[in-house]
Amino acid sequence: MSWQMFNATATVVRPAWQADRYGDQIPDWSAAERRELSGLCIQPSAQVLVANEQITADGRDVRMTHWRVYTALGTDADVLATDRIEWEGRTFEVVGEVARWPHPLTGQVHHIEFTIERVQG
């Protein structure tokens, strides 16, 4: 049996956008587009091992955990900083921009990397 590093599958959830009462665009998660993304490697970041815990002003105990997502060599993926990721029954927010690493010889996308975060509490 061979071990496969890029064996995870997740769902990318992209919101529809609508104007709020001030004319600003806000995400509409009830009308979100969903599509499967496979061939991923999802690994805990150092922050998962030491979850960031905070007590809020209203006394809630909030815990934030982070994971790092990688695509396989030569794989680009349509993932944006405004998307959510569903994986193993949990929902995560994409944190920051999605990094598209160029191949050193061809200049095309070598792989992409991004961080996802789950907030509880």
**pLDDT tens figures, 35-60:** 999 999 999 886 554 455 556 566 66
Tell me the β-bridge partners of 120. 63
Token pair, residue 14, equals 């992209």
**pLDDT tens figures, 94-110:** 999 999 999 889 989 99
Distance CA 93, CA 91 (A): 7
Distance CA 30, CA 84 (A): 13
Q: What is the CATH number of domain 8-120?
A: 2.40.10
Q: Considering the chain, what is the average pLDDT of its residues?
A: 88
Write down the domain spans for the chain: 8-120
Q: What is the signed CA dihedral for 71, 39, 118, 43, rounded to 10 degrees?
A: -70
